[in-house]
Structure 1
């Protein structure tokens, strides 16, 4: 039963985001979240772990927002390939930078895990993710 539910979900995503640019933007964000949570599993200090969980939850809460931005991108600027359609550069740029900052958030988290970084750096990177999503969202205002 789960197999069919997963397949239906994948078909819905393909239908709403396409298989090109907007699907890639969404999937890059998802991979960044996955990486963040993989690193989180290895944090041994409970206080640090709890702080990183809060940041991770805040980032994970953005996934529906990213999905909606990508869905609207596909609706307003259909893309079947990887080229950014005219008029979509600000939206795509914001989403792309958000995914990049999410990756650097995971890197900062890894440094904290290895006791070579500070939580403030993880917080800073996570704020950059949110700022980029705000920027992407403002393209629809």
Structure 2
């Protein structure tokens, strides 16, 4: 049954996000979010965990926003390849890519905090960069034509 659900989700994603750059940007962000939560699961110190859970929740709240940007971009400038559509879309794609990369860096920071090689506030700083890139992508997104 889980396989069928995953298949349906993939078909829905294909329909909403296409199979090109917008789908890749969304999937990159989702993978980074999954990795962040995997790193968080390994945190044994309860105080540190309590400090990181709100950050994880804030990052998870970004996924629907990223999906919305990618879905709108696919509606306005469909992509079924690795070519980023012209116009303002390269800047939108760049910010989404930076958000995904910053999220991966935030996950890495959690791992480094677990090893006590970074202070805990480093995770918050990296998470703030993720939020910033998503917000910029939203602002750069052209208005949908009707």
**TM-score range with shorter-chain normalisation?**
over 0.9
What is aligned with 1:57? Answer: 57
Is the partner of 1:108 in helix, strand or coil? Answer: helix
Q: Is 1:85 aligned to 2:85, yes or no? A: yes
What is aligned with 2:139? Answer: 138
In the TM superposition, 1:1-20 aligns within 5 A as 1-20=1-20
Deviation string, structure 1 residues 90-114 (Cα, Å, up to 9, x no partner): 1101100000100110111111011
What is aligned with 1:98? Answer: 99
Structure 2-normalised TM-score? 0.92
CA offset at residue 76 of structure 1?
A: 1.1
**1:40 & 1:23 partners in 2: Cα distance?**
26
Is the partner of 2:80 in helix, strand or coil? Answer: coil
**1:107 & 1:58 partners in 2: Cα distance?**
17
Structure 1-normalised TM-score? 0.95
CA offset at residue 133 of structure 1?
A: 0.6
Is the partner of 1:19 in helix, strand or coil? Answer: coil
**2:4 & 2:35 partners in 1: Cα distance?**
26
Is the partner of 1:5 in helix, strand or coil? Answer: helix
CA offset at residue 63 of structure 1?
A: 0.6
| Structure 1: gaps (5+ residues) | none
**1:37 & 1:15 partners in 2: Cα distance?**
27
* Number of equivalences: 141
What is aligned with 1:116? Answer: 117
**2:119 & 2:107 partners in 1: Cα distance?**
12
What is the aligned-residue RMSD (CA, Å)? 1.1
CA offset at residue 28 of structure 1?
A: 0.3
**2:81 & 2:2 partners in 1: Cα distance?**
30
Give 4+ residue runs of structure 1 displaced > 2 Å after superposition: 1-6
